[in-house]
Amino acid sequence: RRHLLGIEGLSPDEIVGLLDLAEEFVVLNRQVEKKRTTLRGRTQINLFFEASTRTQSSFEIAGKRLGADVMNMSVSTSSVKKGETLIDTAATLNAMHPDVLIVRHSASGAAELLARKVDCSVVNAGDGAHEHPTQALLDALTIRRNKGRIQGLTVAICGDITHSRVARSNILLLQALGAQVRVIAPPTLLPKDIERFGVEVHGDMRRGLEDVDIVMMLRLQRERMNGSYVPSVKEYFHFWGLDEAKLRYARPDALVMHPGPMNRGVEIDSAVADGAQSLIREQVEMGVAVRMAVLDALSRTLPGNSSNA
């Protein structure tokens, strides 16, 4: 494939292939010398129209460790601020002959639109409430490394499902690899078309967490709540925040995940986020390895690559 626009459309074999490749980069990243030459001579542009800590920095590190020249486009000081459109911005960058464009945008479908307008590979680093494929891949790698499998696990995704691209990509990936997925959310933060995802839906946190192997917490995406009901922090934490008492309803060996950024005391208590069952720091480490795997896999499709099929 030339682009990575979403988990939708990837086969289970393609997903497992990327996870297996990422395992090699986990080993490399723990060594003193971390550089490869896979992308030597190639140009990677990170084009983030929305804020990011983890995704942007790990794509930059991933590209550099594979030998690419990486340019972080500063959208806040770019001509986007003067009214230049997404398409014109992409066409401008395309004229500079990049090989890979990593894009994050507030609009669902933005990455796919760009992929049709530019000559290089496009990776979706999060488009609106649609997909965040590398987040789902790094979550799957973290789960597989800790549980030894994904098939047959029960995973609860909790919180603001409506506005979450992380939830969508994770539901697609986890189901593709044979996990049972539950969502636990207030009715106001559940998508109207939740039935089409084929997940078990719970409105009560304690009932929803029973016998769960993985608890995946989500942030309230207030920036996407245009006029919809926004609960108070105190109310939300009381009913939907993961603390040690609620976590005891899950399996004793359940593990806790969060894509970040976390809002401590809103959707997750610090005692859980920093506790023995938390995988949150490991998720960040896996993010670099997964993004290296994605760039490595895409590099095989670039013009001039001898392994280009």
Is residue 132 annotated as a catalytic residue, yes or no?
A: yes
Q: According to CB under 6 A, which one of 260, 268, 285, 291 is a site residue for ligand CP? A: 260
Q: Binding marks (x or -) toward ligand CP, 165..204, rule CB under 6 A?
A: ----------------------------------------
* Among candidate residues 121, 123, 122, 60, the one with its CA nearest the CA of residue 303: 121
Is residue 104 annotated as a catalytic residue, yes or no?
A: yes
Is 135 marked within a binding site?
yes
Give residue number: closest CB to ligand CP: 55
Is residue 55 annotated as a catalytic residue, yes or no?
A: yes
Q: Which is nearer to ligand CP, 50 or 210 (CB)?
A: 50
Structure tokens at 152: 């047959």
Alpha-carbon distance values, 253 to 146, 179, 207, 211 (Å): 11, 17, 17, 10
**Judged by CB under 6 A, does residue 55 bind ligand CP?**
yes
Choose, from 43, 55, 134, 142, the residue flagged as catalytic: 55
Q: Binding marks (x or -) toward ligand CP, 132..151, rule CB under 6 A?
A: ---x----------------
**Judged by CB under 6 A, does residue 52 bind ligand CP?**
yes
Choose, from 132, 144, 168, 182, the residue flagged as catalytic: 132
Q: According to CB under 6 A, which one of 261, 270, 271, 275 is a site residue for ligand CP? A: 261
Q: Which is nearer to ligand CP, 127 or 213 (CB)?
A: 127
Scanning 89-97, 113-121, 246-254, 255-263 for contacts with ligand CP by CB under 6 A, the matching segment is: 255-263
Is 261 marked within a binding site?
yes
Is 31 marked within a binding site?
no
Choose, from 82, 97, 192, 196, the residue flagged as catalytic: 82
Is 132 marked within a binding site?
yes
Q: Which is nearer to ligand CP, 126 or 249 (CB)?
A: 126
Q: In three state form, how does the secondary structure of the chain look? A: CCCECCCCCCCHHHHHHHHHHHHHHHHHHCCCCCCCCCCCCCEEEEEECCCCCHHHHHHHHHHHHCCCEEEEECHHHCHHHHCCCHHHHHHHHHCCCCCEEEEEECCCCHHHHHHHHCCCEEEEEEECCCECHHHHHHHHHHHHHHHCCCCCCEEEEECCCCCCHHHHHHHHHHHHCCCEEEEECCHHHCCCCHHHHCCEEECCHHHHHCCCCEEEECCCCHHHCCCCCCCCHHHHHHHHCECHHHHCCCCCCCEEECCCCCCECCCECHHHHCCCCECHHHHHHHHHHHHHHHHHHHHCCCCCCCCCC
Q: In whole angstroms, how close is the CB of 125 to ligand CP at the nearest point?
A: 7
Count of positions on this chain that bind ligand CP (CB under 6 A): 9
Q: According to CB under 6 A, which one of 2, 8, 53, 275 is a site residue for ligand CP? A: 53
Site for ligand CP in 77-106 (CB under 6 A): none
Are residues 4 and 294 in contact, defined by beta-carbon separation less than 8 angstroms? yes
Q: According to CB under 6 A, which one of 54, 64, 202, 251 is a site residue for ligand CP? A: 54
Q: In whole angstroms, how close is the CB of 238 to ligand CP at the nearest point?
A: 25
Q: In three state form, how does the secondary structure of 91-103 look? A: HHHHCCCCCEEEE
**Judged by CB under 6 A, does residue 128 bind ligand CP?**
no
CA distance 70 to 73: 10
Active site residues: 54-55, 82, 104, 132
Please give the annotated binding residues for carbamoyl phosphate, written as ranges. 54-55, 104, 132, 135, 260-261
Binding residues vs ligand CP (CB under 6 A):
52-55, 126, 135, 259-261
